[in-house]
Structure formats: C-alpha cells, structure tokens
Amino acid sequence: MSRRPLVAGNWKMFKTRAEARAFAETLAVNLAQADGVELAICPPFTSIDVVAMILQGTGVGVFRQTGHESENGAHTGEVSMGMLADAGASGVLLGHSERRADCAETDQALARKVPAALAAGLTPVLCVGESEFERDSGSTKAILDVQVREGLSGVPKDRLGDVVVAYEPIWAIGTGKIATAQEISQMANFIKEFVSKNFSNIAEFYLLYGGSVSSKNSAEILQIANIDGLLVGGASLDANEFIAIANS
C-alpha cells in the first residue's frame, strides 16, 4: 500500500482515567518511534477527553467504541456521534463483534450509524467478521457480503474513502488464534473487490485486520496486500507493546 498504515488500539472496557492518562503520556513521548503510521486509541468513553487532551496536536486519533445514530433524543444511556466529536473523539468503532453480541448492534442499525458518524465529522470503523461456526460451515464470504453491504449502504459514494473497514474473524479475537496470512489475504481481497464492485470503482477505503494481533505477528500481517492497518485489542493495553506494533 502507498498510504501510511493505520494502527488502532481498542481498549474495550479497560483502564481508569489515571491509567489512560499514563498510557497517553508514554505514547506522546515515544511517538517518534511510530513514524510512518497513523495511530488511534479507542478508550472507554470515560477517558476520551483525557486521552484527547494529552494527544492533542500529535495527530493520534481518539476513537470511541460505539455511538448512537440519532443526533439526540430519548435514548437513555446513549451518546450521539456529535457528542463524541464534542468530547474530543475523531472516530468511532461500529459493529464490533462484542457490540453485535452484547448490545444487538445490528446491520440495520449500522447502516444508519456509519453515515451518522461521517456527518458528525468522525471516522467510522465498520467491524465485520465471521464466527468459528460460520467459518467451519463455509459461509464466511456470505456473512461478509451481508455485513459490508448493509454497513456501507447509507454511505454517500464520495465519502467511501473516509470509511475504515476492519476485518476481524470472531474466532481470532482474544483467543491467540491468528488467521493465516492466506486466510487474511483471501478475505481482504474479497472485501476490497466486493466494495469496488458494489459501491465504487476505486476501493480506496482503509481495510484493517484485527484478532490476536501482537508485536510478534504485526509486521507479517502488514505485508499482506490489501491490508492497510491493524485493529489491536489486548496487546494495545500496554503502551510499549502498542508502540512496538506501530513500529513494525
């Protein structure tokens, strides 16, 4: 790829504000080591402002892990895309498999959330991926077809390049089981070709891989054609490990 790869760290439901601050401070002083990569951190909502404040002006993105599609309204407990931008976020993960499973984040809702994020000036990261059962039954491409088609269905053509898609096989998330380079490459090509055929002639969006990424395998995954970056979960909780991945 010719562009700078994007390495995003998804902290999930980990870190207090003090821990988030310490991480961001370590990252800020070590940024020179991650030259040539775009970085983003996805802290829990409570730490977005503190991470955004410390990393202000560094170019590191601060993404939330979900967001509501409405601008405002009677949605107790929810946070809109505009509110996220107001709190200092520059992007948002959407459709992470844990949100799809725990909070019924459906493809239909994602079809509204992705354009809502764009409209609020956030970079949406649409997460897609098959379960172990779906993989074993040979339906990976059919699953990705639906998730990508629905998730991108509300995106204006001229904004497609502003969307990031993350391919995260569910069976590889937090399990230490990593998809082989061949599996990643096959699905990356499938997604890029699918988007290019159905949405735009130029598949110019970033495609990330996620699922048990660490500094041990990151360099190899980044070599795969059509993979433009990484979405890192567990290994992104340690600042030095995250910097090592960015450095790879």
What does the binding site for ligand PGA look like in residue numbers (CB under 6 A)? 10, 168, 173-174, 210-213, 231-235
Nearer to ligand PGA, 6 or 82 (CB): 6
Q: How far is the CB of 191 from ligand PGA (least distance, A)?
A: 16
Question: What residues contact 217, with CB distance under 8 A and at least 6 apart?
Answer: 178
Question: What residues contact 247, with CB distance under 8 A and at least 6 apart?
Answer: 33, 34
Q: What are phi and psi of 169, to 5 degrees?
A: -60, 125
CA 195 to chain centre: 17
Burial class (CB in 10 A: 0-12, 13-18, 19+), 159: middle
Out of 38, 96, 130, 241, the active site residue is 96
Question: What residues contact 120, with CB distance under 8 A and at least 6 apart?
Answer: 80, 81, 82, 84, 85
Nearer to ligand PGA, 20 or 128 (CB): 128
Q: How far apart are CA 114 and CA 102, in angstroms?
A: 19
Nearer to ligand PGA, 168 or 228 (CB): 168
Catalytic, 132? Answer no
Q: Which two tokens stand for residue 6?
A: 């994007």
Q: How far is the CB of 193 from ligand PGA (least distance, A)?
A: 24
Nearer to ligand PGA, 118 or 173 (CB): 173
Catalytic, 98? Answer no
Q: How far apart are CA 71 and CA 132, in angstroms?
A: 36
Q: Which residues are catalytic?
A: 96, 168
